[in-house]
A and B are shown apart, each in its own frame.
Chain A
Amino acid sequence: MSILLDRHTRVLVQGITGKIGSIQTKWMLAYGTRIVAGVTPGKGGDRIEGIPVFNSVEEARRKTGAEASVFFVPAPFVLDAFMETVDAGINLIVVVPEHVPVHDVIRMRAYAERHASRGLFALGPTTPGILTPGQAKMGIMPASLFQPGHIGIISRSGTLSYEMAGILSSAGFGESTVVGNGADPVTLTTLVDILKRFEADPDTHGVVIVGEVGGIQEEKSADFIAAHMTKPVAAYIAGRFAPEGKRMGHAGAIIRGSQGTFASKVCALQTAGVDILESPIQVIRWAKKTVA
């Protein structure tokens, strides 16, 4: 079992003819992902790794039954591609690119919320994507670090989700699904939306949140965890030593005054009963205690 994505999901790749899009298509196919189509406007009729390329999402969906889409579209074109994809009826959208203008994300988020009732779920921008071990991946996660299992991982950071999964896998635990929430100041979904999915998934026995300084996502998820999560939750927050006012690589990883600090996140999560991991390697001890 898994959330959001499995080996049957019919996946579309937008920006498939680009340098990153074509390489990542190869890796996703090698992992077993059921990629059925690619889209690059103006390149319809091409084939990448044997996958047919279409000019529009609507055409790709009509001809291949694509139901989920992963974006390798240059940042300035993401807003347009997103609107097109929502209108074409695709219900799972993974926006990998970074540097998408925040005001575009605000519009994308509002549009996605208008279509939430039909089941639309969108991740990113600046997300490594989703990976369900042993089944499929949409995004850029390096396959070798993941093993099938029962721990759900939600991360704002790509590389740190690999580290967390890799540590669990090497200690004999595995993951149900690994989800990148996105590292921008505004994301298309919240930690809470993803926690809800893991709470409802019978195959997920515990959840690890990989957070970082900046924003109030972790603080808000603490309220939800205290009120609604029955499964054990652990959290690691990166950036304990991050100086105030400096953007730590991610557009959203910036401490502004008293908001977004390490202390405020740890305090909120601890109060909600979350096990705080001092460093990623402590996840092994937590997993042995709670999920084994």
Chain B
Amino acid sequence: MRLYEHEAAGIFADAGIRVPGNALASSPEQAASAAGHIGFPAVLKAQILSGGRGLSGGVMKVFSTEEAHETASKMLGTPINGMPVKTLMVVRYVDFHTELYLGVTVDGYTGKPTIMASTAGGVQIEEVARKTPEKIVSALVDPQRGLYPFEARRLLNTAGFPPEKTPACADTLVSLFQVFQNVNAITAEINPLVICADGRPMALDAKLEIDDSALFRLGEGIPKDPARGDSPLEKKGREIGVTYVELDGDIGIISSGAGLGMATMDIIGKRLRPANFLETGGGITQERLYQSMELIMMKKGIRAVFINLYGGINPIQEGAKGIVRYVRDHGLTIPIVAKALGNRQEETWGVLRAGGIHVVTQVATEHAVDRLIELIDAKG
């Protein structure tokens, strides 16, 4: 779950990281008044969950109450990367020379936390990571030992931080690492970290992504809303306990596993256009597959459905009943092909066939997709 900047900044501040004082605004009036209190020049920052905000008009400097009002009303009405802007964070403008970068993330290969630093911080950091990755230096942290300031200083020396600023920036990195540990983060980033006129570092942005699987044990200060940032259909998927990702085609897909779902999408995608990715995970019930059918059919213009199930941990015979019930309740007449293998496969085939669904019993998904295409062609 990604946090909004203002939420992350609050957590950073509690951990002793210096952040600019801020106020939130959800209307132009509030923004103008907040900016007036904070003082000019002020900066209006759109609170959205996608990156690259600085390059898409999501961060604007204003010099007067009128300008704050006008700019805020523009920003609140303009989606960024498809995400509506509902809240602005208003902060005092801070003058700085150098933009630095600090980050902590999980290195999936070694299974260890990684600390990262760069003197090439700022809005272009993703570009830097792509084109000149050597400008971002990193080091693994022993998860049992934790991170000590001398290790942070060593990393910042390698990154080329100004020597006289290194101790204070290293302390910031250690605090960031503590946040990473405390909130069970996947990533914690400060970009940019700047050196203020008083010579001390300040975090001008705050980025935090928390592991969804750990939300259950985090304290009250942490929002518990993993569905934020989902599209309406993705949100609905989460409610019924499946993963749904909307795509731009017209063939609905249901699969009982993530890898199988991706492979199904790939195979169908060679010749037809998938409308979605949907995987049920290991908790198939009659109800969940009924609701999954309902969900994939919510997208307009679905012209066929492809179902790919394995009975390993899942009772697929139960799932089949849910599918058939949906088809019957809604008098669905578009082609539906199902492949269902594993524990209780014969029973599952019986249920599906009795419900008018085309069952393919071969193992390879390709054969079942061939069948789907035949049915679509026959329908014309």
Enumerate chain A interface residues (CB-CB to B < 8 A): 20, 24, 27, 75-76, 98-107, 109-110, 128, 140-142, 144-145, 155-163, 166-167, 169-170, 183, 185-188, 190, 210, 212-213, 215-217, 220, 236, 238-243, 246-253, 257-258, 279-281
Contact yes or no, A217 B259, CB < 8 A? no
Q: Is B310 an interface residue (CB 8 A)?
A: yes
Contact yes or no, A142 B257, CB < 8 A? no
Q: Is B363 an interface residue (CB 8 A)?
A: yes
Contact yes or no, B214 A248, CB < 8 A? no
Chain A residues with Cβ below 8 Å from B364 are 163, 166-167, 170, 280-281
A155 to B311, CA, bound (A): 17
A167 to B270, CA, bound (A): 20
Contact yes or no, A75 B108, CB < 8 A? no
Which of B184, B255, B269 interacts with A103 by CB under 8 Å?
Answer: B184
A140 to B281, CA, bound (A): 13
Chain B residues with Cβ below 8 Å from A240 are 266, 269
Q: Closest B-chain residue to A168, C-beta based?
A: B363
Which of A155, A159, A252 interacts with B256 by CB under 8 Å?
Answer: A159
| A116 shortest CB reach to chain B, Å | 13
Contacts A/B (CB < 8 Å), 18 sampled: A20-B313, A99-B212, A103-B184, A105-B111, A106-B111, A145-B342, A155-B259, A158-B312, A185-B186, A186-B108, A212-B262, A216-B108, A238-B263, A241-B247, A253-B258, A257-B126, A279-B267, A280-B366
A99 to B282, CA, bound (A): 11
Contact yes or no, A248 B111, CB < 8 A? no
A253 to B311, CA, bound (A): 22
Contact yes or no, B260 A157, CB < 8 A? yes
Contact yes or no, A159 B265, CB < 8 A? no
Q: What does the 1/0 interface line of B266-285 toward A look like (CB < 8 Å)?
A: 11011000100101011000
A250 to B270, CA, bound (A): 23
A145 to B108, CA, bound (A): 31
Chain B residues with Cβ below 8 Å from A186 are 106, 108, 111
Sample of 18 further A-B pairs with CB below 8 A, known A107-B144, A160-B259, A161-B259: A102-B184, A102-B186, A106-B106, A106-B113, A142-B343, A144-B345, A145-B363, A166-B364, A169-B363, A212-B262, A216-B108, A220-B109, A241-B265, A249-B262, A279-B266, A280-B263, A280-B365, A281-B364
A159 and B269 in contact, given A212-B262, A248-B245 (Cβ under 8 angstroms): no
Contact yes or no, A98 B281, CB < 8 A? yes
| A31 shortest CB reach to chain B, Å | 11
Which of B212, B245, B266, B363 interacts with A166 by CB under 8 Å?
Answer: B363
A250 to B106, CA, bound (A): 16
Q: What does the 1/0 interface line of B341-380 toward A look like (CB < 8 Å)?
A: 1110100000000000000001111110000000000000
Chain A residues with Cβ below 8 Å from B181 are 103
Contact yes or no, B341 A145, CB < 8 A? yes
Contact yes or no, B211 A101, CB < 8 A? yes
Contact yes or no, A238 B262, CB < 8 A? yes
Q: Is B58 an interface residue (CB 8 A)?
A: no
A110 to B143, CA, bound (A): 7
Q: Closest A-chain residue to B214, C-beta based?
A: A101
Chain B residues with Cβ below 8 Å from A141 are 312
Chain A residues with Cβ below 8 Å from B184 are 101-103
Chain A residues with Cβ below 8 Å from B270 are 279
Q: What does the 1/0 interface line of B212-223 toward A look like (CB < 8 Å)?
A: 111011000000
Q: Closest B-chain residue to A128, C-beta based?
A: B312
Contact yes or no, B130 A257, CB < 8 A? yes
| B317 shortest CB reach to chain A, Å | 13
- Most B CB within 10 A of own CB, among A103, A236, A280: A103
Q: Is B142 an interface residue (CB 8 A)?
A: yes
Contact yes or no, B312 A159, CB < 8 A? yes
Which of B213, B259, B269, B313 interacts with A210 by CB under 8 Å?
Answer: B259
A142 to B317, CA, bound (A): 14
Contact yes or no, B365 A249, CB < 8 A? no
